[in-house]
Structure 1
């Protein structure tokens, strides 16, 4: 299939701006229209050209051929300005030693301990909910997953105020960095948004630096991710600098907060629009949990809950757009691709290909038990050596949180307006006002 992949150009480019207005305003509507123009679609970002790829064989080629395609170029430069040169953004040459440094923090033996924190934070969040209350589910989910990320990363504990300051800064940064990727000139124009972004960036770096300093001064091994990083060594055998540590902390908090919160918010909103799946989820939660929070040991008994999360990851994968830059002249499906060319593997489109999934645009969790999923058809955490290191962590957290909420609460949309995804690094559903109905007392 890759040898005969169809090439095309995205229509509707603006003079000078190209397709930046569409990507900044309604990114999903723009992406949904691209398959009609080919498997590889050229998109203009101002004066630059990007090749959007959604054919599975080509995606595998790009994400696994590390000698030809690297994490570089202007897009990664903008992301690194926020989260630094950590595991999620570093060039291929630095990736191996960084992954080895972080891997111990994601041992399966630690997952049960992390799950206890996930359950406790979910219970703390929902304890503040009241029947009849309307909550912004996107914000509540982000509050939950940020708390989990911070508590598992810094198990020695930080103040509630410090945790809230990190969460607030990250919220601003995750919106701001996407804007800077699709509109690099935004920092040249004075505006209140630019001021908020710069203050958030400063607050983030200050807050993380203070935590790192406190850990160094204590000299105690807490057995958490930061303690492991403090004892890690780089490729030359040297301990990580404070700047290196700050970059890795940013990566871990981003992976543990932004991605999982989006998945959880989408899950609850999609279930509200699909009563049959919602009833099945509640029945499973009632049978297994009987009103109590979900624990790590419950995961094998929650298969449909996990299928809901998989289906959300299929429709709205956190790593929806993975970019790579060709480091030397090469070919893509038999066509020349000059060095410096930027390609975007659009997993959002891969997961919605009609040839791979029946009713590909429909939310149908039951599909995961109905039949086989083709190879390379489901890549929510990426592929190859740079696949997300926290995939098990994220699946565990999302499954436990969804089951715990379903055991006690029914959520219904407080408005008839459909979700309008917000332009962030992940496919966030944007504000989701949802009304709470208690299914049983805590």
Structure 2
């Protein structure tokens, strides 16, 4: 491996700051340029070195060896400050127990029930749509996905104001985490700026409301068929359940992961379809045939193959989780380089998904490239929107089901047209969503 895979260093590091300014101002451009310098590239986060893994073979090695390449580095260090050791953020030593406890909540048998809530949420969100109306697509798709997360987490009769506050606080927290990721100096987080104060208030609010919900659910002792009920009922091999603190951590994990991925991906779908009429026409042909203008349901999923391909290609071009980090738990070697214990590694699905060696014409939106999976055998390791290895996202099928039902149901009745002269740019924060996207509704 070391004979064929190369190592290099990114140019342009500034004293003390390293590459922080480049990452903060043009993160996608900075990351996309790194493969020119090697398959494993050293950068500097402030005064500290980190290594960006740019080749699919090396990323695969990192993902499957999660004991050595453990969850850690700037992304997870910041997330743990907020959400503790939830399933997504926990270190290897805690992962197996948590995965076993949480797995029943995402068993395939539970998906039809969740899908019913997803379909109902589509109707809730689209009920007020009117022909010719201009939508803030990012805000609307975020409202949809957070509504699904809320419904599937808390099916009990919970005060709407409490749920709205949980949604608001979660948004503030993850926006704050995204900003803190590019700041290498932790002392800046202690300064009582308006943003830091808002962040701390949101943390306290979220902790208060989730603890109250946990207490209420435990007192009621009723299985509502939702994720919270599953978490309360979960038991490990020693018949021990999750503590209140662990449940709080999992709630935050589910709420963020369950809403961020879909809310980031769906706006890109509408933007891409509006600029690729042939793909849009193929999608319309399918939903007209399968749905005939009605809302999609779980049993429709096997027939929505074109819809699924449109979503897959969107996830390739704009992976919501676009930047991840790891930290070595022991001395190891990668691409011929000795990495001491504690080394920070960075990898980006965005880099892999735009790799010309795996995707011909990688900047082109082409759902057809997924029509025959055997036609893209080399793309297997270069497609990682949900991670890989033992830490692959436990909610992958949940997210794909949600996005497919939403896209098919909305496309069965509506088209979204771009506004004249509108410029759509990515906003790479924790999730890779458009910075702004306003489009005009047209009833089909």
1:434 equivalent in alignment to 2:436 = no
Quote the Cα distance in structure 2 between the aligned partners of 1:159 and 1:352: 44
Q: Which 5+ residue runs of structure 1 have no aligned equivalent?
A: none
Q: Which residue of 2 aligns with 1:411?
A: 416
Deviation at 1:74, TM superposition (A): 4.3
1:372 to 366, 376, 380: 376
Instruction: Label 1:113 to 1:3 Cα distance change in 2 as closer, same or farther (>3 A).
Output: farther
| Superposition map of 1:290-439 within 5 A | 290-370=292-372, 371-374=375-378, 375-414=380-419, 416-439=421-444
1:35 equivalent in alignment to 2:35 = yes
Q: Which residue of 2 aligns with 1:212?
A: 214
Instruction: Label 1:283 to 1:74 Cα distance change in 2 as closer, same or farther (>3 A).
Output: closer
RMSD (Å), alpha carbons = 1.7
Q: Which residue of 2 aligns with 1:141?
A: 141
Secondary structure in 2 matching 1:128: coil
| Superposition map of 1:21-60 within 5 A | 21-60=21-60
Does the CA contact (< 8 Å) of 1:10 and 1:34 recur in 2?
A: yes
1:239 to 238, 241, 253: 241
CA distances 1:264-294 after superposition (whole Å, capped 9, x unpaired): 1111111111111112112211121111111
Does the CA contact (< 8 Å) of 1:25 and 1:423 recur in 2?
A: no
Secondary structure in 1 matching 2:384: coil
Quote the Cα distance in structure 2 between the aligned partners of 1:347 and 1:42: 18
Quote the Cα distance in structure 2 between the aligned partners of 1:271 and 1:141: 16
Q: Which 5+ residue runs of structure 2 have no aligned equivalent?
A: none
Quote the Cα distance in structure 2 between the aligned partners of 1:121 and 1:112: 14
How many residue pairs match? The answer is 439
Does the CA contact (< 8 Å) of 2:39 and 2:335 recur in 1?
A: no
Q: Which residue of 2 aligns with 1:173?
A: 173
Secondary structure in 2 matching 1:222: coil
Deviation at 1:325, TM superposition (A): 0.7
Does the CA contact (< 8 Å) of 1:328 and 1:339 recur in 2?
A: yes
CA distances 1:152-182 after superposition (whole Å, capped 9, x unpaired): 1112232222222122112222221111122
Instruction: Label 1:282 to 1:148 Cα distance change in 2 as closer, same or farther (>3 A).
Output: same
Deviation at 1:368, TM superposition (A): 0.5
Deviation at 1:3, TM superposition (A): 4.0
Query: Quick check: 222-231 or 212-221, which moved more?
Result: 222-231
CA distances 1:298-344 after superposition (whole Å, capped 9, x unpaired): 11111110001111111122332221111121111122111111111
Deviation at 1:415, TM superposition (A): 5.0
Query: Quick check: 285-294 or 301-310, which moved more?
Result: 285-294
Quote the Cα distance in structure 2 between the aligned partners of 1:428 and 1:83: 22
Quote the Cα distance in structure 1 between the aligned partners of 2:11 and 2:423: 26
Q: Which residue of 1 aligns with 2:112?
A: 112
4+ residue runs over 4 A deviation:
234-237
Does the CA contact (< 8 Å) of 1:54 and 1:347 recur in 2?
A: no
Quote the Cα distance in structure 2 between the aligned partners of 1:78 and 1:419: 29
Deviation at 1:2, TM superposition (A): 5.7
Quote the Cα distance in structure 1 between the aligned partners of 2:179 and 2:237: 34
- TM-score, length-scaled by structure 2: 0.95
Q: Which residue of 2 aligns with 1:92?
A: 92
CA distances 1:21-78 after superposition (whole Å, capped 9, x unpaired): 2222221121121121111111211011111112111111111113311112444221
Deviation at 1:263, TM superposition (A): 1.2
- TM-score, length-scaled by structure 1: 0.95
